Amino acid sequence: MALATEPTRDGVAPPMSADVVIRMEGVQKWYDQFQVLKDIDLEVHRGERIVICGPSGSGKSTLIRCINQLERHQKGRITVNGVELGPHHRQLDMVRREVGMVFQSFNLFPHLTVLENCMLAPMKVRGTTKAEAKATALRYLERVRIPEQAEKYPGQLSGGQQQRVAIARSLCMNPKVMLFDEPTSALDPEMVKEVLDTMIGLAEDGMTMLCVTHEMGFAKSVAHRVIFMDRGEIVEQNTPEEFFTAPKSERTRSFLGQILAH
């Protein structure tokens, strides 16, 4: 398995390497009688950036939450970075170390400082020394442009700052893939940009990203591929140009009509 990732120079063209980071095959999931994911097939290549959109309840969050098994799927196979997720904890641990996740509600640990938030997992999961963890944390806090907030508690920060800390916290684990679950939906409008800018920065560095978001501007400029989900199915996937200018399915057209209307 390749360890180093060549950053994509061209910001638009999808890297067509054979290096598949995430493979979902025939993934199905039910909540009791209700089927949330119907036969999902998806391959994500190293360095690829995918935006997943769709109406609420379409299963898009559930899909990315299955990748690190915050939700368990009942049928089908999910392979991440060569590890197939099964009933055993060992595989789950291996996958979760390599997959970072950013949540809509930030989910920073309120009893720890920003710096401690970033140091916890590297020290307790990877066994890094305190000094090393601190150096890494400060580097990533620098990168999300809030090193000066390191000693503060999450409650003292704005929503946008908290979300940037959450991104830094994930990056400290040096993940191969980043999952974003509506990272800007809980933010005040004036703070959306600072978070999107951080995500664009990550994209430019070649991070493999799966983003559930309604930020269509972000999708247009950053994504290699846009996936539209509805009622638990992947209805359509395409390059952003095709997706926004020539959507194939009626459901996609009506969805785009609704979210682009205002």
Partner 1 sequence: MIRAFGYNEFLFLLSAVQWTLMLSVIAFIGGGIVGLVVALGRTSDVKPLRWLSTGYIQIFQGTPLLMQLFLVFFGATVIGIDMSPWVAAAVGLTLNTSAFLGEIWRGCIQSVPRGQWEAASSLGLRYPGLMRYVILPQAVKVAVPPTVGYLVQVIKGTSLAAIIGFVELTRAGQIVNNATFQPFLVFGIVAAIYFALCWPLSLLSQRLEARYAAPSR
**DSSP secondary structure string for all residues of the chain:** ---S-PPPSSSSSPP--S-EEEEEEEEEEEETTEEEEEEEEEEEETT-EEEEE-STTSSHHHHHHHHTTSS--SEEEEEETTEE--SSHHHHHHHHHHEEEE-TT----TTS-HHHHHHHHHHHTS---HHHHHHHHHHHHHHTT-GGGTTS-GGGS-HHHHHHHHHHHHHTT--SEEEEESTTTTS-HHHHHHHHHHHHHHHHTT-EEEEE---HHHHHHH-SEEEEEETTEEEEEE-HHHHHHS--SHHHHHHHHHHH--
Q: Is 27 in the site for partner 1 (CB under 8 A)?
A: no
The contact pattern for partner 1, residues 34-73, with x = CB under 8 A and - = no contact, is ----------------------------------x-x---
Piece in contact with partner 1 (CB under 8 A), picked from 13-21, 22-30, 91-99, 140-148: 91-99
Out of 21, 42, 81, 103, the only residue in the binding site for partner 1 (CB under 8 A) is 103
Output 61 or 198, the one with its CB closest to partner 1: 61
Considering the complex, state which of residue 155 and residue 189 has its C-beta at the smaller distance from partner 1.
Answer: 155
Which region among 46-54, 98-106, 238-246, 254-262 touches partner 1 (by CB under 8 A)? Answer: 98-106
Which member of 101, 133, 141, 168 binds partner 1 (CB under 8 A)?
101
User: Which member of 36, 66, 115, 121 binds partner 1 (CB under 8 A)?
Assistant: 121
| CB atoms inside a 10 Å sphere around CB 181 | 22
Residue 97 binding partner 1, by CB under 8 A: yes
Print the binding letters for residues 163-182 with partner 1: x by CB under 8 A, - otherwise.
Answer: ---x--xx--x---------
123-162 mask for partner 1 (x: CB under 8 A)? -xxx--------------------------x-xx------
Interatomic CA distance for residues 195 and 187, integer angstroms: 9
**Positions that interact with partner 1 (CB under 8 A):** 68, 70, 89, 93, 96-97, 99-101, 103, 105, 107-111, 120-121, 124-126, 153, 155-156, 166, 169-170, 173
